Structure formats: C-alpha cells, structure tokens
Structure 1
Amino acid sequence: MAPTQTNNSNDPRRADKVVRYKPTASGGTLDDPTPEYMNLLGMIFSMCGLMMKMKWCAWAAVYCSFISFANSKTSEDTKQMLSSFMLSISAVVMSYLQNPQPMSPPW
C-alpha cells in the first residue's frame, strides 16, 4: 500500500504560509501636540502681558513656557522654545517695571 500524502496547506510551519510581524511606522498622528499648543498660548499671553500691562497674563505665559519645555522632545526646535521663554520673562519684568505694586486678587 502506498503511503498517503497529507494536505499540508494549513500547516503553519510551511515557509510560504509564515506570517511575519511588520511594525507600524512610528510618528504621524501619535505625536503629542501639547508642547506646540502651550508654546502658542504662552506667546499669546506674553503679548497680552506686554501690550495690556496685565500681570496675570505675564505669569500665565511663564507657566505655559514651563509646561511647553517639560513636555517637549529633544528633537524639537529649541530656539523657538527659548524665544517663547524669554518673551514671557520679559513680559513679567516689563509689567513689574511699569507698575511695581503686587498683583491684587480678583475678588
């Protein structure tokens, strides 16, 4: 009696049926936009603090700059972050040079 041949088309050990793992491309939509948003918000607060002499806007700009720096990656542009930080510091300094009185609470 001749040996019977088995159908190996469902055998996962066959070379033509092995499925290899292909990792997905990193980046793209998985990036966190928080540093960019905080950088933009800090620049807006800085300009409001400089132009309108609002001390709370200047301090909010410093806060946003720190958040942007803390959430940034090493590959991001450091010049833009440094300029945002310096703009927020200058907003605080200029607002206190023009009016050295401490901030009054809003209530």
Structure 2
Amino acid sequence: MANAVSDPRRPEKVQRYKASIGGSIGEDPTPDYMNVLSMVFSMCGLMMKLKWCSWIALFCSSISFANSRVNDDTKQILSSFMLSISAVVMSYLQNPQPMTLPWFY
C-alpha cells in the first residue's frame, strides 16, 4: 500500500501521441538547396569549363544525396549526381591539365 502513495506518475497528465498528417513543420531544406546548387555549379562547370565548379557541384550533390529523406524524389537527386559527375569528367576530357584555382596564384 505504501508503494501506491509514492507513485510519481500522474495519469491525468498523459497525452496520447498524434502523428502529423500534413507537411512536417520542422522539415530540413538542406538537400533541396544542395540539389539546386549542384545543378547550378554543374552547368557553370560544363559551360565555362571551370574544373572547380564541377568539383563543387559533385560535393553539393553528394551532400544532397546524403541528407535526402526516404520519400524524396530519387530521380532528381540521382540526375543531379550524374550531371555533376559528367561535369567533372567532361572538364578533364577537354583539358587534362591539373586544376588551378583562380584565387591561388
């Protein structure tokens, strides 16, 4: 009987968990931003033949792929990843010299 008196639980304070049906309020926009940055840097690397843009695109697309959720559009993420890989490959096929950064001379 002494155990019932010292019980710290309060059944009137218990609230049942309700899953949110709509969009999550605390959704992380990082994969979406990195996906857009990857597309932009890939295009800059392909069009302007800048190797550092291609490498940044590959870095951004890998961050986007790593931070993606299960229910994200995998086709868009993989196409961004493949575009950044092709930007790196094409920039080195056009000019096989080692990369020199414009701000380090």
Question: Considering the TM-score relative to the shorter chain, is it more than 0.5?
Answer: yes
Q: Where does structure 1 lack aligned partners over 5 or more consecutive residues?
A: 1-11
Cα offsets for 1:66-106 (capped at 9, x unmatched):
10011011111110011000000010011001100010243
CA-based RMSD of the aligned residues comes to 2.0
Matched to 1:56, the amino acid is W
Stretches of structure 2 that go unaligned for 5 or more consecutive residues are 1-9
Q: Give the SS at the match of 2:25.
A: helix
TM-score, L = length of structure 2: 0.78
Give the Cα separation in 1 of the matches to 2:58 and 2:81. Answer: 7
- Does residue 1:43 correspond to 2:42, yes or no? no
Instruction: Establish whether residue 78 from structure 1 lines up as the match of residue 74 from structure 2.
Output: yes
Max Rg structure: 1
Instruction: Could you list the structure 1 runs, at least 4 aligned residues long, displaced by more than 4 angstroms after superposition.
Output: none
Distance between the aligned counterparts of 1:63 and 1:89, measured in 2?
10
| Aligned pairs for 1:23-62 within 5 A | 23=17, 25=20, 27-62=23-58
**Aligned equivalents of 1:97 and 1:77: distance in 2?**
31
